Amino acid sequence: MYQFNYVKAKSLKEAGRLLASHGEAKLVAGGMTLIPTLKMRLARPSHLVDITQLAELQGIKLKAGRLEVGAATRHHQVAASAVVRKAIPALAQLASVIGDPQVRNRGTLGGSVANNDPAADYPAAVLGLGATIVTTQREIAADDFFQGMFATALKDGEIIVRVVFPVAKRAAYAKFAHPASGYAMTAVFVAQTGDGVRVAVTGAGPGVFRWKKAEAALAKSPKAAALDGVALDSSGFNSDIHADAAYRANLVRVMAKRAVAKLGRK
Amino acid sequence: MAKVTLTVNGVKHTRKVEDRALLVNVLREDLGLTGTHIGCDTSQCGCCTVTLDGRAVKSCSVLAVQANGSKVTTIEGLAKNGKLHPVQRAFAECHGLQCGFCTPGMIMATVGMLKDNPNPTEDEIIHGLEGNLCRCTGYINIIKAVKKSAKLMRGRAR
């Protein structure tokens, strides 16, 4: 690991100031992606600004049919939260299958969403539920937030404060985890919301995306069989030693059907 | 450099460490607690698992400065007055180890797991140890040891 200066921010304002005055500064929360990256010398920040402990980033609240989760909330807290389990059980279930227990004890919602790893779990729920990302500067709709591999709408110095999830009528998450890393080879989040059905896919392409043809098919018939024969463009899908694009395309359909079948059981 | 205060196995230590020092390095090199192992250096194997404020973490993926002010328990902190902790006893009695290198991490992960779920099913045990690898592949007896640990812990007067 290269040298850096660690600063524990006392406020979001101070964190913003540090980011603005040091061009090579980076935020750290749980550090479950960043610290392994630093150990491999794949990043060389001048400063690490720790925001995990800031009061503004904590807490899980249900307010007017919307579930607000602070950016520094750790995965195990979401998985175990009685409020989340009651409001959006699929979100708690998703949090309970991220990485491994040690990762869930450290990793945070905001960190996962800001990093936007193409195989991360949370982006599927954020996009699938049509959540809003509240930052220090504005509110960003999930549909505008995720912009492909490790890319988001966040500007330099902008910090995620919380994510606001509309409570869905029904939602489910089906994941085919890589057996060693725990990352999604492909996973699908399906939500039945007030505005219709949303289907978000992670792990298959260069970033999380909505499978809109599947949404249209499910709007007509909310059954797993409705997804048979629905077109899926796999031209940009990932091909690697674990699975080629065609295999992932098949997994998308299988995981989507499993998620829809789980919906029906609730 | 940063000044870091940790309460490790009930004893308060203050050390000056590099900002980039990992918790595992401070435990092993500054405090001499070499029971916490480094197996992979890539955050996968779980040999370096300790509890940080009661929750299992991989100490190779936490900066020592991030743990400032926290309570850390390592494998050395489990036995009390020469008496093994129930999880240690169960691992010994069920032979939940082969070479023993992953064992401190397995035991600390088990301690963390049983705190959340005192009576895990076999599936929950397997899921709960996903962050720990045994290169000897001695998982069958490790799972038996976790089941026995749970039984011993439940029977223990608290």
In the predicted model, what is the mean pLDDT of chain B? 96
Domain definitions of chain B by residue range: 2-77, 86-155
State the amino acid at position B18 in one-letter form.
Answer: E
Query: What Å distances lie between residue A21 and A16, A28, A111, A154, B154, CA to CA?
Result: 9, 17, 21, 18, 54
Which pLDDT band, with edges at 50, 70 and 90, does A251 fall under? Answer: very high
A36-54 average pLDDT score:
97
> Token digits for A58?
């904590």
Are the beta carbons of A6 and B63 separated by less than 8 Å?
yes
Determine which helix (DSSP H) or strand (DSSP E) holds B52, and give its type and residue range: strand B49-52
Chain B residue numbers with beta carbons less than 8 Å from the beta carbon of A76 are 55
Nearest-angstrom CA–CA distance, A120 and A134: 20
Which pLDDT band, with edges at 50, 70 and 90, does A265 fall under? Answer: low
Per residue in A167-201, pLDDT (tens digit) is: 999 999 999 999 888 899 999 999 998 889 999 99
Chain B residue numbers with beta carbons less than 8 Å from the beta carbon of A100 are 46, 130-132
The burial class, CB within 10 Å (0-12 / 13-18 / 19+), for A159 is buried
A to B CB pairs, distance under 8 Å: 79
pLDDT surpassing 90 at residue A109: yes
Nearest-angstrom CA–CA distance, B51 and B64: 13
The burial class, CB within 10 Å (0-12 / 13-18 / 19+), for A89 is middle
Q: Which domains does chain A carry?
A: 5-50 (3.30.43.10), 55-264 (3.30.465.10)
Pick the CATH number of B2-77 from 3.40.190.10, 3.20.20.210, 3.30.470.20, 3.10.20.30: 3.10.20.30
- The percentage of chain B sitting over the pLDDT mark of 90, rounded to a whole number, equals 95
Which pLDDT band, with edges at 50, 70 and 90, does B12 fall under? Answer: very high
pLDDT for residue A264: 65
Which pLDDT band, with edges at 50, 70 and 90, does B158 fall under? Answer: very low
**Any A CB within 8 A of B44 CB:** yes
- Considering only CB atoms, B42 lies closest to which of A3, A36, A182, namely A36
B26 DSSP assignment: I
- Considering only CB atoms, A101 lies closest to which of B41, B56, B62, namely B56
B6-23 average pLDDT score:
98
pLDDT for residue A182: 86
In the predicted model, what is the mean pLDDT of chain A? 96
Which stretch of A174-178, A262-266, B53-57 has the lowest confidence by average pLDDT? A262-266
- Considering only CB atoms, A102 lies closest to which of B2, B49, B65, namely B49
Query: What Å distances lie between residue A256 and A121, A181, A189, CA to CA?
Result: 14, 22, 7
Are the beta carbons of B130 and A182 separated by less than 8 Å?
yes
Query: What Å distances lie between residue A43 and A4, A37, A56, A93, A106, CA to CA?
Result: 11, 6, 28, 32, 20
Chain B residue numbers with beta carbons less than 8 Å from the beta carbon of A48 are 19, 63
Q: How many CB atoms lie within 10 A of CB B21?
A: 21
Chain B residue numbers with beta carbons less than 8 Å from the beta carbon of A180 are 44
Per residue in B92-118, pLDDT (tens digit) is: 999 999 999 999 999 999 999 999 999
- Hey, what CATH topology would domain B86-155 get? DNA polymerase; domain 1 (1.10.150)
C-alpha dihedral sign at A95, A100, A106, A111: negative
pLDDT surpassing 70 at residue B44: yes
Are the beta carbons of B66 and A50 separated by less than 8 Å?
yes
A24-41 average pLDDT score:
96
pLDDT surpassing 70 at residue A266: no
State the amino acid at position B139 in one-letter form.
Answer: Y
Are the beta carbons of A3 and B19 separated by less than 8 Å?
yes
Q: Which residue of A has its CA nearest to B56?
A: A102
**Any A CB within 8 A of B41 CB:** yes
> Token digits for A120?
């991360």
